[in-house]
Amino acid sequence: MNVVRTVQGDIDPSGMGPTDSHEHLFFVTLLQPGDEFVDVDLAIAEARTLVDAGARTLVDWTPLELGRDLEGLLRVSRATGLHVVAATGVHRDAHYSADHPLRAETADGLARRFVADIGGPGVRSGVIKIGASYHRLQPFERKALAAAADAHLITGVPLCVHTEHGTMGLGIVEHLQRLGVAPCSVILAHLDRNPDPVEHAETGASGAWLQLDGPGRTKYWPDSTVLQLISDLADRGLSTQLLLGGDTGRRSMMRAYGGGPGLDYLFARFKPRLERELGTELSRLIFVENPARAFAFEPRPRAGDEDPPVSHLLP
């Protein structure tokens, strides 16, 4: 039976309800100095606004060593009633300093860490984050992809991929396919940074999930650009592969920290507009039905709790 793994335990995918498929409740990175956010009480306040706007599930994409706070996510979930899915995995290369200890880990070691996060005794992760650079995969990212593929094959949880400006979508899917990962277990984020429906339709033909997460980034592009991309992709037959997130990944974007537009922008402002312009059926697919398939997986039996069977890896 398929489940979605939340910080409070596994749930039936049909219980997810309206879902924000990409968020960060805590985040610290050297790429955004001064824009970190780590306060649990403020995360609770911010998450309440999302619940008030109609969301029932949030998928948090903050991976290892970037301010991820599993106990904090659990506190937010308990305080707000929001289902929260946590991530293990790592981000793209540039988020880690040159001497960061994660870089010294082998692919095998990373895979063991990911598997332990997904099946361990504490707060469990329900997705594996990986990342790619702009139009290329760096050595650290190749290692992380190999580790994530192995951890996916052991656990079944989906892979959540940061694309840089929406580039390399198909290349990443094909790379993961060579590592044994089916495209239907791959979620590609930030595709609307490159609002090219033809390119993303080519990627979508593989069966991978196409995630758009740029509503509210008005200084880069208007929401109309994101809506047009959704419309174009739906016209190309991809409405059952689309996901939407807010990706409110900066302190300055959170109202609880004095910023804006706030964690609830996706549900309070963008979703109603999508429904007015593109219809409620497409909205139901994107916010309810598609996430319930994209983030669901069939838990696989474990060979041993302490020593998961990580086998091959890098040549």
Binding residue (CB under 5 A) for Zn ion from 72, 126, 197, 249: 249
Stretch that binds Zn ion, among 59-67, 89-97, 124-132, 225-233 (CB under 5 A): 59-67
The answer to whether 126 and 294 are in contact (CB under 8 A) is no
The answer to whether 162 and 129 are in contact (CB under 8 A) is yes
Residue 155: how many CB atoms within 10 A of its CB?
Answer: 24
Q: How many residues bind Zn ion (CB under 5 A)?
A: 3
- How would you classify the pairing of strands 159-162 and 186-189? parallel
Taken as a whole, the chain contains a residue count of 315
Cβ closest to Zn ion, residue 83 vs residue 92: 92
Stretch that binds Zn ion, among 135-143, 232-240, 245-253, 265-273 (CB under 5 A): 245-253
Which has the closest alpha carbon to 131: 186, 85, 182, 57? 186
By the rule CB under 5 A, 164 interacts with Zn ion: no
Cβ closest to Zn ion, residue 150 vs residue 247: 247
The answer to whether 57 and 31 are in contact (CB under 8 A) is no
Please report how close the Cβ of residue 160 comes to Zn ion at its closest, in angstroms.
9
Please report how close the Cβ of residue 26 comes to Zn ion at its closest, in angstroms.
12
Cβ closest to Zn ion, residue 66 vs residue 111: 66
Cα–Cα dist 100/103, whole Å = 6
Please report how close the Cβ of residue 243 comes to Zn ion at its closest, in angstroms.
13
In the numeric block, the tokens 């879902």 are attached to: 19
By the rule CB under 5 A, 61 interacts with Zn ion: yes
By the rule CB under 5 A, 18 interacts with Zn ion: no
Residue type at 223 in one-letter notation: D
Binding positions for Zn ion, rule: CB under 5 A: 61, 247, 249
